[in-house]
Amino acid sequence: MLPTRSTPQSSRVPNSNCEKGGPARELFELEASIREKRPPRTDVMDGLHDVVLCHAIARSQINNGPVSLPSQLPEWSVQN
C-alpha cells in the first residue's frame, strides 16, 4: 500500500522524498487520479521515459561510464 498524505509520518518509507516532489509525488498523483476517476496529469509515456532514464543512470553507474541513447524508448513501446 502506498503511503498517503494522511498516513502518519512514522509509517512512511524512510528517506522518502514524498514532500519534496519527484517520483513519489507522481505516485501520489497517480493514486489520486485513480481514486477520483480522472486521467493522471502525467501520462504513461512520460512515466516510461522516466523509467528508461533511471535505468540508463543505473547502467552508467554499474559500468562506470556513459550510456549511449540513455532515454531511447524500447521498440515495443513505439506507437504506430
12-23: pLDDT as tens digits: 444 444 455 666
42 three-class SS? coil
Q: How many CA atoms lie within 13 A of 37 on its CB side?
A: 0
For 67, the grid coordinates are 550510456
Closest Cα to residue 13, out of 30, 1, 21? 1
Check pLDDT > 70 for residue 77.
yes
Helices (H), the chain: 23-35, 44-63
pLDDT digits (tens, 9 = 90+) for 23-63: 678 788 889 999 999 998 887 888 888 888 888 999 999 99
pLDDT at 33: 92
- Kindly state the cell numbers that stand for 17: 522524498
pLDDT at position 73 is 84
Which of 50, 11, 6, 46 lies closest to 28 in space, CA to CA?
A: 6
